[in-house]
């Protein structure tokens, strides 16, 4: 509408929802809090996990353990097969249009760097992960079905002949993409965190029964690995691994 302003108040909604959980649903008495999300919801966990951890622990009448589980939310900012970073401009526009507030340490770091205006990077996990302090567990595919098109811009679907077979160049690109994602996660993941990375052509994984109870790595299912991380590693050391598609 001409002459009218549009206000984005998502942070107030986030606060209101968790105030409701704390007061009306007994979260302030919780001993353990797991904040999880898939796809864009997983990205939101990464972006707000430290803030929510601080909010919950300050209001809690206990001393709760707070962790995050991120499924299919590790969106990469890398050149596509054609050489264009397809997602970065989208995140730049969102950051500027909505006056986004995410991880404060990340924003302070990138907003203070030259060239100015790099705060949008804090919306993307490969830049923000190293600033997160709250333990989390990442579940992600190197061949994420969403990113195959929207990030990589491949003309094929790996493992399927439905849209034509992948070429040698496609697989070379996929290998490079995998390496970049792996390095990004290993270099940035918070202490006491874990990850489960597969090469299945999936977008989200934990919300499918098949993936949750049948995908295996080192003879352990995804379910057992996540639970094992939570009970064994969340207060000790990093844990991670790669899974096997079935």
67-116 confidence digits (pLDDT tens): 999 999 999 999 999 999 999 999 999 888 888 889 999 999 999 888 88
Res 177: pLDDT: 96
Q: What is the pLDDT at residue 96?
A: 84
Average pLDDT over residues 180-209: 92
Query: What's the pLDDT at 2?
Result: 67
* Rounded average pLDDT over 43-69: 96
Residue 246 has pLDDT above 60, yes or no: no
Mean pLDDT of 133-154: 94
Highest mean pLDDT among 79-83, 111-115, 212-216, 231-235: 79-83
Q: Which of 96-110, 135-149, 223-237 has the lowest mean pLDDT?
A: 223-237
pLDDT score of 189 more than 50 = yes
Residue 124 confidence class, pLDDT cut points 50, 70, 90? very high
**pLDDT band for position 180 (50/70/90)?**
very high
pLDDT at 119 over 80: yes
User: How does 26-63 read in b/e, with b if 16+ C-beta sit within 10 Å?
Assistant: ebeebeebebbbbbebbbbbbbbbbbbbebbeeebeee
Task: Please tell me the predicted confidence (pLDDT) of residue 116.
Answer: 82
Average pLDDT, the chain: 89
| pLDDT of 151 | 96
Residue 214 has pLDDT above 90, yes or no: no
- pLDDT band at 181; cut points 50, 70, 90: very high
Using 50, 70 and 90 to split pLDDT, how confident is the model at 7? confident
Is pLDDT at 245 greater than 70 in this prediction?
no
């Amino acid at each position: 509408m001409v002459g009218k302003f549009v206000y984005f108040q998502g942070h107030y909604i986030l606060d209101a929802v968790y105030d409701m959980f704390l007061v009306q649903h007994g979260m302030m008495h919780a001993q353990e809090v797991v904040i999880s999300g898939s796809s864009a919801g997983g990205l939101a966990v990464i972006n707000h996990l430290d803030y929510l951890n601080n909010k919950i622990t300050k209001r809690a009448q206990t001393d709760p353990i707070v962790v995050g589980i991120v499924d299919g939310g590790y969106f990469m900012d890398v050149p596509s097969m054609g050489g264009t970073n397809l997602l970065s401009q989208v995140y730049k526009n969102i950051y500027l249009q909505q006056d986004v507030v995410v991880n404060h340490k990340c924003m302070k770091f990138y907003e203070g760097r030259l060239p100015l205006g790099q705060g949008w990077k804090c919306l993307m996990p490969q830049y923000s992960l190293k600033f997160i302090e709250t333990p989390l567990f990442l579940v992600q595919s190197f061949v994420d079905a969403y990113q195959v098109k929207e990030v990589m811009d491949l003309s094929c679907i790996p493992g399927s002949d439905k849209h034509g077979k992948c070429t040698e160049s496609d697989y070379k690109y996929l290998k490079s993409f995998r390496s970049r994602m792996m390095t990004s996660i290993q270099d940035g993941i918070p202490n006491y965190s874990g990850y489960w990375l597969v090469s299945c052509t999936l977008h989200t994984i934990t919300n499918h029964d098949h993936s949750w109870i049948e995908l295996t790595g080192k003879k352990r299912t995804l379910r057992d690995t996540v639970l094992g991380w939570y009970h064994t590693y969340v207060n000790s050391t990093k844990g991670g691994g790669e899974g096997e598609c079935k």
